[in-house]
Every structure is written in structure tokens, then in C-alpha cells.
Amino acid sequence: MFRWIENNRDEIITVWNHEGKMLFISDAIERLLGIDKSELIGSSWYDRMYPEDVDYLAHHLNRNINQRQQFIINLLHKNGKYVTTECTVQKLIDDSSGITYYIALQKDITDKRQVEELMIRSEKMSISGQIAAGIAHEIRNPLTSIKGFLQLLQAGVRHKDKYYSIMLDEIEKMEKITSELLFLSKPVTDDRNIESIKNMIEDVVRLLQPQARMKNIDIVINCRKLDSILCDRTQIKQVLINIVKNAIEAMESPGEITIRVVSSESKVIVSIMDEGPGVSDDVLEKLGEPFFTTKKNGTGLGLLITKQILDRHHAKLTILKNAEKGSTFQLTFPK
């Protein structure tokens, strides 16, 4: 019976001791990673894992003593590429000997991830189209200024250096806006580095400021320069764009959106607070479900994609109703 299970199931089953040495590996390891299990018996459980996943998994296994836990883990294939797996781990203690063991079940979700990446790309292009009108308006103003100064220069006015300086400032503004728009067309990657939260928020606000101004909405940033997380910059900016854009669209009258960052030794919390009508309990339960949306022309994929990206970063999204009005979208990242 156990041999039939091993031959017909694609999930990898592994058992290791409290020192991290592999005691048992199912035959599925060869189908998933192209490696014979005999090569891995006696090695450490983390030898073929993505380095950041090792740190995260070790941290949570030590904290949560006997809870069954689920993680997204990347394993190195024999061909040098990483395979994305969904991993369930349970810590067990032998009553008679007191020895600690870990048992894990890992399932290949690489195809699922590829579908998610296509959805992310599609949503990015949808967003870029939606905010293009605001950006066109934002670029038109500096272009008008530059055109006016060039006409003055042609007429032979004095103080040319002052005009040149103003024109360069206006061109720099346009460069920053267009570079943020071009970011949306970048391919989906998984290139993680230590990134400044403040820098990413400022980039996103620069991109969405034109849309906010059209509705007389101020975006206030309350964040220290030092706050940073390990992340893929393009993916987390996608998350911030989705949520800030939703906040702008939710507000039916002029007001303020506050982006506040608070950090502790173990986590960084980004709170995006709007002054819209708030989210009802019925809608709150359904938010993030595929194709559920309260917008007339919405796809219902924005929050779903946001949650998928956060899962990849071992982060979570919490949606709260504010005491007076509006909602708060809270992003919690491990430090």
C-alpha cells in the first residue's frame, strides 16, 4: 500500500530530526527535483532551499511549537532552477523517547505560480491604462511651461539661466512620472533585495498623485527613511499601487489618504487609511475572491493578486473599518 502511494502521488514526504538531518524522503523527490533520494538522506533539510525561505521557515518552526504550518518554499532542481512548492510541516515529539521529529508534505505549484504571474502582468497593464489619463494631464502642464519659456527665449528675453533651470526642473518631473509608468510594463521577477519602504511609497505616490489631484485628495506619507524589508521591489510596488489606487477610487469627495509605517524588531506594518464610505461586513468577507468587485468596470483581480504577492513574501493583508469613516488596509511584513 505505501509503495503504491509513493509511486502514484506527486507530493514529497520528508521526515527529519531536531538537528535537521533528513531521515526519510519519498520517491516523489526524483520526479519533482530530478534527484535520487539516496543522495539526500543524511543531508540537512535546508540544503536545496532558497536561502530566504530557510531563514523564514526556521524562524517559524522555532516559534510555533506544535502547530501544523503551511509555507511557500522554493526547492533547487537538478537543472539549477527553483521549483515552487506548497509545504505543510508538523512538529512531532515521541512520547517514549522525547525525541523531536518534523514531517513535511510538499506539493509542486510551479504551474499555478505561472498562471498567477500572467494575472499580475495583465493587471499591471490594466492599471497603466486606467491611470494614463491622469498622467497625461500631469505631463501636459510642464510641457506648456516649457513651451512658454522657449517662446520667451526665442524673443530674446534676459535672465536665460533662470528659465533654463525651471525648464530642467519640469523635465525632471516628467522623467520621474514616465519612469514609474514604465515600471508597470516590467516583467514579473523574483529578485529580492533589502528595499526602503519609504522610497517605494514615494515612487507609488508620484505615479498616482495626478489621479488623486483630479479628485482633490491629498496623500500624506508618515514613514521613516530607515524602515526596510526584504522583497522584490516591482512586486511590492504593484501591491502598493493596487491599494492606494483603490483608496483614491473609493473616496467620493475631497479628503486625505494617509500612508503610515510602523516597525518593530520582527515586523514592518504599512497602513493605508482612506476617508471613503468604508467597507461593509458583507463586502469585507468577499474581498479578495476571484472576480468579486464593487467597481463598475473592475476585474475583481486586484486584491487577489495583492494577496498572492504578499503570500510570496510571507506577508499578510488585513482590512479594517475605521472608527469614524473609511477603511484601513494593513500590510504586515516580516523584518
Query: In terms of domains, do 231 and 245 share one?
Result: yes
72 and 195 belong to one structural domain = no
Residue 118 is part of which domain span? 113-334
Per the DSSP assignment, residues forming a β-bridge with 103 are 15, 90
Does residue 208 sit in the same domain as residue 312? yes
41 and 184, same structural domain? Answer: no
Side-chain-side CA neighbours of residue 227 (13 Å): 21
Phi-psi region of 333 (alpha: psi -120 to 50; beta: other; left: phi over 0): beta
CATH number for the domain that contains residue 67: 3.30.450.20
As a whole number, the mean pLDDT across the chain is 79
pLDDT the model gives residue 180: 62
Q: Identify the residue with better confidence: 199 or 3.
A: 199
Asked if residue 219 and residue 89 are part of one domain, the reply reads no
Cell of 120: 499580475
Pair 142, 269 in one domain = yes
What is the average per-residue pLDDT within 197-213?
Answer: 88
Pick the closest to residue 321 from 291, 282, 289 (CA basis): 282
Amino acid in position 128: S
Task: Say yes or no: 104 and 182 in one domain.
Answer: no
C-alpha cell at 319: 482590512
User: Any idea which of 5-9, 74-78, 202-206 has the lowest mean pLDDT?
Assistant: 5-9
DSSP string, 35-62: --GGGTTTSBTTTTB-HHHHHHHHHHHH
pLDDT > 70? residue 332:
yes
Q: Of 176, 183, 301, 175, nearest to 236 (Cα)? A: 183
Within a 10 A sphere around the Cβ of 315, how many other Cβ atoms?
Answer: 21
Q: Let me know whether 142 and 185 are in one domain.
A: yes
Do residues 213 and 170 lie in contact, with contact meaning Cβ atoms separated by under 8 Å? no
Chain-centroid distance of CA 193 in Å reads 13
Q: Do 283 and 144 lie in a common domain? A: yes
- Whole-prediction pTM value? 0.54
Question: Pick from 90, 108, 126: which residue ends a domain?
Answer: 108
**How many structural domains comprise the chain?**
2
pLDDT classification of 260: cutoffs 50, 70, 90: very high
CA distances from 11 to 7, 32, 111, 311 (A): 10, 8, 15, 20
Q: Where is pLDDT greater, at 52 or 189?
A: 52
Residue where one domain finishes, among candidates 83, 108, 133:
108
Q: Which of 93, 108, 123 is the last residue of a domain?
A: 108
Whether residues 60 and 164 fall in one domain: no
Confidence class for position 219, pLDDT limits 50, 70, 90:
very high
CATH number, domain containing residue 137:
3.30.565.10
Q: Model confidence over 224-253: pLDDT tens digits?
A: 778 899 888 888 988 998 899 889 988 889
193-217 as b/e: b if 16+ CB within 10 A: eebbbbebbbbbbbbbbbbbeeeeb
What is the per-residue DSSP string for 233-293?
HHHHHHHHHHHHHHHHHH--SSEEEEEEEEE-SSEEEEEEE--SS---HHHHHHTTSTT--
Give per-residue pLDDT as tens, 272-321: 999 988 766 655 555 544 444 555 554 445 677 788 788 888 899 998 88
97 plus 139 within the same structural domain: no
Tens of pLDDT, residue by residue over 39-96, are 888 888 788 888 878 877 777 776 655 667 777 888 888 888 888 888 888 888 888 8
pLDDT higher than threshold 80 for residue 5: no
- pLDDT top residue among 173 and 253: 253
* Judgement on whether residues 243 and 312 belong to the same structural domain of the protein: yes
270, pLDDT greater than 90? yes
